[in-house]
Amino acid sequence: MKIIYLYRRNAYAAIMAAYAHLKLNAPKNLDYVRESYRKEGYFFYLGMDEDFNEVYLLYSERKGLILTNLLHGFAALYHQNIKIIDLN
């Protein structure tokens, strides 16, 4: 399964939630990390959790509902299970 933390405004919450999910310590230079994850439309792979789920961050400036529907549609096409955690 792929777990996607989707955010628009609060990058700090998304990064901290994803790192907590992976049971990793928070990055020391959070401002640099926050700016490097602000490329719209790019999936940032953070790692794999203990259940072998892949964890990603995804930044979007637009409304998350349309993007969420697209992600579920693409996941169904490729027979993938996804869980989207929308932090907007």
pLDDT at 62: 77
Per run of 10 residues, the mean pLDDT along the chain (length 88 residues) is 90 89 86 80 90 93 82 94 90
List the chain domain ranges: 2-86
pTM equals 0.87
pLDDT at 39: 81
Q: What CA–CA distance (Å, rounded) separates 27 from 22?
A: 13
- Find the distance separating the first CA and the last CA of the chain, reported in whole Å: 22
- The answer to whether the CB of 31 falls within 8 A of the CB of 19 is no
Residue 8 to residues 19, 45, 48, 62: CA-CA distances in angstroms? 18, 17, 23, 7
